């Protein structure tokens, strides 16, 4: 009977150990699922990051182009202002000549 009790006790211990190991396996499988979900999230975030970096690069290129165009337009405005000033001076000179000619008449 002692052998039977000893075997029964050992069997109970093994069953308990097996239940504990099964719990650990279940826990690890749950961790594996969570890790897989996190890896999917990381992949999604990396793809988003790449899209944002591409968009930033496109915007930087566009900004550079706009700055170049702005500079060209500022140069054109400056040239036009110079021309307007020259024309205003010519008009003033012509008006002065007209006044002189009117005074002579």
Distance CA 52, CA 46 (A): 10
Name the residue ranges covered by the structural domains of the chain: 1-76
pLDDT bracket for residue 67 (50, 70, 90) = very high
For residue 59, pLDDT over 80 is answered with yes
pTM for this predicted structure: 0.58
Distance CA 53, CA 86 (A): 49
pLDDT tens per residue, range 2-58: 687 888 898 889 999 999 999 999 999 989 999 999 999 999 999 999 999 999 999
For residue 82, pLDDT over 80 is answered with yes
Q: What is the pLDDT of residue 104?
A: 77
Question: Scanning the structure block, which residue is given the tokens 């239940």?
Answer: 19
Q: What is the pLDDT of residue 4?
A: 76
CA atoms within 13 A of residue 39's CA, in its CB half-sphere: 6
Q: Is 1 helix (H, G, I), strand (E, B) or coil?
A: coil
């Amino acid at each position: 009977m002692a052998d039977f009790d000893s075997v029964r006790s050992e069997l109970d211990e093994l069953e308990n150990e097996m239940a504990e190991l099964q719990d650990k396996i279940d826990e690890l499988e749950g961790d594996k699922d969570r890790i897989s979900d996190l890896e999917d999230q990381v992949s999604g975030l990396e793809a988003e990051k790449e899209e944002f970096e591409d968009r930033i690069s496109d915007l930087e290129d566009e900004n550079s182009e706009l700055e170049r165009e702005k500079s060209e337009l500022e140069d054109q405005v400056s040239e036009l202002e110079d021309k307007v000033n020259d024309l205003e001076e010519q008009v003033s000179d012509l008006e002065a000549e007209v006044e002189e000619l009117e005074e002579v008449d």
